[in-house]
Amino acid sequence: MNGFGMTALLRLALIVLIALATSVAGAKAREAHPGSNALLRELRQETHADRATVQRWRALLAQAKKQDSILAAISRPAEKTKSWKDYRPIFMTAKRRDDGIAFYRENRVLFDQVAHDTGVPAEIIVAIIGVETSYGGFTGNYRVIDALATLAFYYRHARRSSRRTEAVAEAGRPISAAARGIEGSYAGAMGWGQFMPTSFAQWAKDGDGDGRIDLWASKPDIVHSVANYFVAHGWTRGAPVTGRAIAAPTAVLPEIRATETIYSIDSLARAGYTLAEQFDPASPATLLVLEGAEGSEYWITFQNFYVISRYNRSPLYSMAVWQLAQEIARGATAAR
C-alpha cells in the first residue's frame, strides 16, 4: 500500500511503529531528528506511557537514519507524474497477468474460501498483491523505521503539516519482528500486501491461527489481511465496481472529487454519461476521466471502486487493480 496522506498519516504510522517496539537498548537524551522530541511528547500524552517506555522509543528513533534516496523516490510517484496511458502499462503486463493467474490457481482453495467468507472477490485480492509486490517478489529493501523517520522529519510536506496527529491505533499490539529490523517500501509499507504500520495494527489478520501475524511468509495471513482491509473500508458483496461510460456530444463535465461517489447514475446520465449495463439509477457513483492511449476514457465508478482507493488514493491505482483483476479472473476461469 504505497499511497497515503503525507501529513497526519505519516506521523501516526511512525508513532504506531515506535509503540509496537518492545525493547531497544542505549537510549539517548538528545533529539535524534528535528521534531522527534515533540513526537515523543505527543505519543506519551496519547498513551500515558511511563518514562522507561519513552526512553525505549527515543532509543529506537535514535537508530533511524535519514535516507536521501527515499526523499528522491517520494517526490516522483508514478500516480502523480504519469497519465493513464503511461501508468497502465506498468501494471498491465503479460507477466503480471500470467503470474497472477498462476498464483490464484496455486492457492485457489485459500482465495475462494476468503472470498466466500468476506465477499471480496478473489481476483481483487490477487491483483492487490500483484500490483503491490508482484505476488511477493519484492516487498521493499528500506528499513521501515528509516522510511518513516525520513518522511516524518525531513519530507517538506509532512513537516509543514499542522493537522493534529490521529489517536494511536492499538499501540500495544505486537508486531511479528523487531521494529528496528523490518524492511519495506520507501513509504514504510510492509509485507506482500504493503501494509503501513497503522494498517497492520488495525486490520492485519491471523489467517492461519498460529497466534501471530506474518505478512511476509504466511499466505493465509496475507490474504485474510488484504480482504479484511477491504471489508473494514466498506466493501459491499456483489456490488458493482466500475463500468465504461459513453459521453454524449453535449455531455457536461461535472465536478469530480477523486473517487468519492457524490452523484447517482441518474444524475450522471442527465449530464450526458451513460453505461451500457443496467444499474439502479439511484446508485451512488461518480465520473472518472482518464487520458488513455486512444484519447479520453470515461468511467462511472461506484462505492466499491472508492473502497479500492482506500488502499491507495490514486484513481489510476484503483483502475489498474480493477483491470488486472478482470484479466486474472478471465485467465483463471479459462484455466479450469
**pLDDT grade for 20, boundaries at 50, 70 and 90:** low
The single-letter code of the amino acid at 20 is L
SS (H, E, C) 158-202: HHCCCCCCCCCCCCCCCCCCCHHHCEECCCCCECCCCECHHHHHH
Residue 122 pLDDT > 60, yes or no?
Answer: yes
Cα separation of 12 and 53, whole Å?
18
**What count of residues does the chain have?**
336
C-alpha cell at 288: 472518472
Q: What's residue 148's pLDDT? A: 82
**pLDDT grade for 159, boundaries at 50, 70 and 90:** very low
Residue 233 pLDDT > 90, yes or no?
Answer: yes
Q: What's residue 18's pLDDT? A: 67
pLDDT, mean of residues 95-122:
98
Q: What's residue 157's pLDDT? A: 60
Cα pseudo-dihedral 61, 65, 69, 72, rounded to 10: 50
C-alpha cell at 276: 451500457
Q: Are 170 and 202 in contact (CB under 8 A)?
A: yes
Verify whether residue 106 is a known catalytic residue.
no
Residue 216 pLDDT > 70, yes or no?
Answer: yes
pLDDT, mean of residues 58-74:
85
Averaged pLDDT of the chain: 84
Q: Is pTM beyond 0.95 here?
A: no
**pLDDT grade for 8, boundaries at 50, 70 and 90:** low
CATH of domain 8-71+138-208: 1.10.8.350
Q: Check the CA dihedral 245-247-251-256 and report its sign.
A: positive
List 42, 132, 166, 294, catalytic entry: 132
The single-letter code of the amino acid at 150 is T
- Distance between alpha carbon 212 and the CA centroid of its chain, in Å? 21
Cβ atoms within 10 Å of 31's Cβ, excluding its own = 16
Asked which of 3-7, 178-182, 204-208 is least confident by mean pLDDT, the reply is 3-7
Q: Are 182 and 144 in contact (CB under 8 A)?
A: yes
**pLDDT grade for 3, boundaries at 50, 70 and 90:** very low
pLDDT, mean of residues 136-158:
83
Looking at the chain, which runs of residues are DSSP E strands? 142-143, 183-184, 242-247, 263-264, 273-275, 284-292, 295-301
Helix (H, G, I), strand (E, B) or coil at 299: strand
pLDDT, mean of residues 53-76:
83
> CA-CA distances (angstroms) from residue 143 to 66, 183, 251?
11, 4, 49
